[in-house]
Amino acid sequence: MNLSKKDEDSGDLGVFYHLDKSTVLQEARVFNETPIVPRKCRLLLTKIIYLLYLGEPMATTEATELFFSVTKLFQSKDTALRQMVYLVIKELSTIAEDVIMVTSSLMKDMQPKSEVIYRANAIRALCKIIDASMLPSVERFLKAAIVDKTPSISSAAMVSSYHLFPAGKDVIKRWANEVNEAINSKPSSIVGTASSYLTSFSSSGSSYNSQPSSTSNINQYHALGLIYMIRQHDRMAVTKLIQQLAGSSRGTFGSSSGILRNSFAYCLLIRYAAKILDEDPNSRQQMYDLLEVWLRHKSDIVNFEAAKAICNIKDVTSKELYPAVNVLQLFLSSPKSTLRFAAIRTLNKLAMTHPTAVQTCNLDMENLITDQNRSVATFAITTLLKTGNEASVDRLMKQITGFMSEISDEFKVIVVDAIRSLCLKFPSKQVVMLSFLSGVLRDEGGYEFKRAVVEAIFDLVKFIPESKEAALAHLCEFIEDCEFTKLSVRVLHLLGVEGPKTATPTKYIRYIYNRVILENSIVRAAAVSALAKFGVSVDDPEVKKSIKVLLTRCLDDNDDEVRDRAILYLKLIDDKESAEKYVNDDSTYSLAALERQLVQYVSNPESSEKPFDLSAVPKITKAQAEAENLRPRSFDLASTQTIGTSSSAVSSISSNVVSTSRDATPTPGVDQQQVYSQQLEQISEIAAFGPLFKSSTKPTELTESETEYVVSCVKHMFKENIVFQFIVTNTLNDQLLENVTVVMQPESDEGTLVEEFVIPAQKLAFDQPGSIYVAFKRTNLEEYTLGSFSNTLKFIVKDCDPATGEADEGEGYDDEYLVEDIEILTGDYVLPTYISDFSSAWDSMGEEGQVVETFALTASKSLKDSCTTLIELLGMSPVENSGTPTSSSVHTLMLSGTFLGGIKVLARNRMTYAPSTGVTMELSVRSSSEEISRIVIGAVV
């Protein structure tokens, strides 16, 4: 019987299947035998590795005893046994104690006179054992190994250095010259034969003195990764490195005459070039030219990496994409399935943002629909859905239906998302799309797949009104036999929101009440809420009467949540005002802001004398509040395990498609204002100012990113004070800045702002950001100061060692650095807030505090640009989906905010656009104070 194979009848998984840790530890006594039997020891070491690989827990005492037993095998000269010893030492080094004792044996094997195969393995094992304090003692050995002519030794030293860098960066940075030498080393001649290498694993224990040199030049790949880690914070040095390595091979395409001879090294260089291109706009053209040259490299992997980098460039043009798409198009007809898969996946992602650039590949992609690799076929069909025209939809849908049953759920999700986006692109084809989605909804599948289909149908309901009733009917059928509670609850919620708006709302009530009878308590509770929305929103008294009867039956439910909801909604149906507030209101409080203000209220003894002001908490839509809990639109392909990719382009297209139903600014994953508030509360001087009203949404850059000192500013608004937080980064590695302050000088001397104090940054080391706080007091709380401040950094400069960061002895010298001005704008005094019913709030506010002005924006190119500009100027939140214009000629933008002091402010902007005159708009602002309205409207003047 072959023990290396699984016997399906017996269930045996191989020779190691019945291994027991205690048995293996007892067998470890074989390491103490004399003479050492290499074959027996190798087998036992393999068992130990297998147990560790399975995650078998091993006590520290057991690991330590085993570790020192294994070290006795250094007496053997058997090469294969020695390699297993190194491997076990590396694995046990993190569990056992006193592993440092084996250092001398490993350093002995690292000596230049040792056998070649020992040295590389000894280096890797030693670097798993030593820490930063021991690094200087082995520095000489590692530097020599980096420039060794044997590629395996050189690679082992550089990979070990790479992993040691976070702990010993100051030491490893001194090895830059040796790493450069390894990159520029000439190819070694091949010595020995493969057969001589294989004989090293015999059990004869014969000496092994030579090893064939690798022709892959993989040590260049390792060297490039290490030198980048050393220089990653010096953009000029990285740019110079890219130019040096790329310039030497332009025209040679990786031939032996160039410095780089390894394809993986070229791929790494391409990624560094792409990063520089992304971070430094001034280097864009230069880096793009290099990427275009690499498209003609002799290696397919380099061609693909360059094409992928070009496709991922931000704001890339069709002209720039053309050569990259041509290369990917050639790969589509490659006999290698890996190349076809890589190319079609890249084109699939590119089609989300630049479908017209990918259209030239449509014919090649159609040939891939029948590809034997179903992953390639899936990407081909979904890419065609993005790039095809309306006439090709029916043909593509027939082909999709044919192979849906042949692919996994992960790829089914991708297909469903592509169909969703295509349906939004061609609304007239919604009947075909909806029919397909309802069909796959009845098929077998996991939660993620069914959730993707339901999400797609939800979007059809939201964006294509013509499909609403048919889509709701399909969803009603789905919940009749739905095994996923979460999906049933979501469908019931949608039926409660959209059902009352249809022409015949009563036909949905039966499906909803069936859930009350047949489902678990969670679904029953959701069904009760959905029924209540019909009772509140439908004006027909017969419907209301029927809903009351159904809710009354729910009072006998055995679950208290279901009973409580039924009691509440029976009460609300008869109280129209309360029903509007508790059932139909689509707004909720920002929980992060609510928590922050409650903590401030509880921690401040003085605030307990008055009730908590809930009106000061900003409101947001429920869609925004749930955005973080719901899975993002599946444009993000990272969720598919077989496709490990992510891209900013993916997220941008997702926002473009979905933003038509949401406000212009989505709710971020982390409440940045809460972060600022927590930071400021730690500073006693600023904490005394009271609760934070508003902080800048993003820092204002006051210097270029390439300057020696990078400075940005965040404005924090309090009831009586304004705090400027200057974030400073020192980019000079040979200077240490101390006592860093900012001198702010207002452009006008009206005296409405008086500087209270400055909190300096005591020390700014290289690449370590620090904050300086400058606080001003508003002398007249009835005035809201606007204007700019000139800013000058003042500090003490001390020279320091670039390697260690330690300052030289001496007092240093005073210096100053002028940065850009910072402005206080009207928007800084306004906190964006959300309201669910703008018309009611607008009417209730009245015309007493209204100010109306008309403006002509001749420079505006579109209504969308005008909306974006106005939102930024006023600092208010767009409501009722008015942030994105649906028409190119006429639009009404509605904004809501809270002015400093808790004053509610609303703005309505009626805009028209004509190519000849630009944008003409009538801006109306209402608040409880006409003076505040004038201040807000003055932001546009």
* 847, 815: one domain: no
Instruction: Please give the mean pLDDT across all residues of the chain.
Output: 82
Q: What is the pLDDT of residues 723-736, one digit of tens each?
A: 999 999 998 888 89
Q: What is the secondary structure of 378-444 as a DSSP string?
A: HHHHHHHHHH--GGGHHHHHHHHHHHGGGS-HHHHHHHHHHHHHHHHH-GGGHHHHHHHHHHHHTS-
Given a contact cutoff of 8 angstroms between Cβ atoms, the answer to whether 95 and 63 are in contact is yes
Residues 168 and 111 in one domain: yes
Whether residue 160 sits in one domain with residue 55: yes
- Quote the number of domains for the chain: 5
CATH number where 878 lies: 3.30.310.10
pLDDT at 524: 92
Alpha-carbon span 239 to 279, nearest angstrom: 11
Does the residue 122 lie in any domain?
A: yes
| Beta strand ranges found along 870-902 (DSSP E) | 877-878, 890-899
User: Mind listing the pLDDT tens digit for each residue in 893-924?
Assistant: 999 988 988 888 999 999 998 888 888 889 99
User: Which whole number is the average pLDDT over 787-806?
Assistant: 86
Q: Which residue has the higher pLDDT, 50 or 5?
A: 50
Q: Pick the last residue of a domain from 185, 216, 240.
A: 185
Last residue of a domain, one of 185, 220, 254: 185
Average pLDDT on 415-439 reads 83
Co-location of 565 and 487 in the same domain: yes
What radius of gyration, in Å, describes the C-alpha atoms of the chain?
34
Write phi, then psi, for 808 (nearest 5 degrees). -70, 160
Is residue 51, in this structure, part of any structural domain at all?
yes
Is residue 464 one of the residues assigned to a domain?
Answer: yes
pLDDT score for 185: 80
Average pLDDT over residues 453-481: 89
Q: What pLDDT is stored for residue 197 in this prediction?
A: 38
Lowest mean pLDDT among 215-219, 436-440, 733-737, 769-773: 215-219
Instruction: Please report which confidence band the pLDDT of residue 195 belongs to, taking 50, 70 and 90 as the band edges.
Output: very low
Could you report the per-residue pLDDT of 607-629, keeping only the tens digit for each? 777 888 777 776 766 655 554 44
pLDDT of 710 above 80: yes
750 and 841 inside one domain:
no
Percent of the chain at pLDDT > 90 equals 26
Name which of 745, 719, 750 is nearest 829 in CA terms: 719
| pLDDT classification of 336: cutoffs 50, 70, 90 | very high
**pLDDT over 50 (residue 390):** yes
d(CA 687, CA 683): 6
Please check whether residues 838 and 692 belong to one and the same domain.
no
Residue 652 lies in a domain: no
Structure confidence at residue 293 (pLDDT): 92
Q: Confirm whether 27 is domain-assigned.
A: yes
pLDDT tier at 213, thresholds 50, 70, 90: low
The whole-number average pLDDT for the span 786-811 is 85
| DSSP code, position 703 | S
Q: Per-residue pLDDT for 806 more than 90?
A: no
Q: Coil, helix or strand for 366? A: helix
**Percent of the chain topping pLDDT 70:** 88
> H-type helices in 184-333, by residue range?
194-198, 218-231, 235-247, 263-279, 284-294, 300-311, 318-332
Whether 629 is in a domain gets the answer: no
pLDDT band at 264 (very low <50, low <70, confident <90, very high): very high
Q: Kindly state whether residues 463 and 537 are assigned to the same domain.
A: no
Give domain status of residue 301, yes or no: no
User: Are 802 and 684 members of one domain?
Assistant: yes
Pick the residue with more confidence: 840 or 661?
840
pLDDT band of 664, cuts 50, 70, 90: very low
- pTM of the predicted model, to two decimals? 0.60
Whether the CA torsion 460, 461, 465, 471 is positive or negative: it is positive
Identify whether residues 723 and 772 lie together within a single domain.
yes
**The pLDDT of residue 198:** 34
Residue 793 is predicted with a pLDDT of 92
Task: Give the pair of three-digit tokens for residue 461.
Answer: 């309901």
Residue 406 has pLDDT above 80, yes or no: no
Confidence at residue 6, expressed as pLDDT on a 0 to 100 scale = 43
Phi, psi (5° rounding) for residue 169?
-65, -35
| CA nearest neighbour of 454 among 438, 465, 432, 470 | 438
Cis peptide before 35 (omega within 30 of 0): yes
- Helix (H), strand (E) at residue 797: strand 787-799
Strands 721-730 and 770-778, bridge-based pairing: antiparallel
Tell me: do 418 and 553 sit in the same domain: no
Residue 571 has pLDDT above 50, yes or no: yes
Shared domain for 876 and 814, answered yes or no, is no
Return the structure tokens found at 468.
């609403």
pLDDT tens-place string over residues 161-170: 999 888 888 8
With a cut of 90, say whether residue 118 has pLDDT above it.
no
Distance between CA atoms of residues 723 and 715, nearest Å:
6
More confident site: 8 or 112: 112
Q: Which of 133, 158, 185 is where one domain is finished?
A: 185
Q: What is the pLDDT of residues 474-502, one digit of tens each?
A: 999 999 888 899 999 999 999 998 888 88
DSSP letter at 338 equals: H
Q: How wide is the angle at C-alpha 337 spanned by C-alphas 333 and 343, nearest 5°?
A: 60
pLDDT range class, residue 350, cuts 50, 70, 90: very high
> Do the Cβ atoms of 529 and 496 come closer than 8 Å?
yes
Residue among 47, 49, 43, 53 at smallest CA distance from 23: 47
Residue 832 has pLDDT above 90, yes or no: no
Decide if pLDDT at 743 tops 90: yes
Contact 878, 894 (CB under 8 A): yes
Say whether both 409 and 535 belong to one domain. Answer: no
Residue 456: which domain range?
A: 397-478
- Whether residue 365 is contained in a domain is answered as no
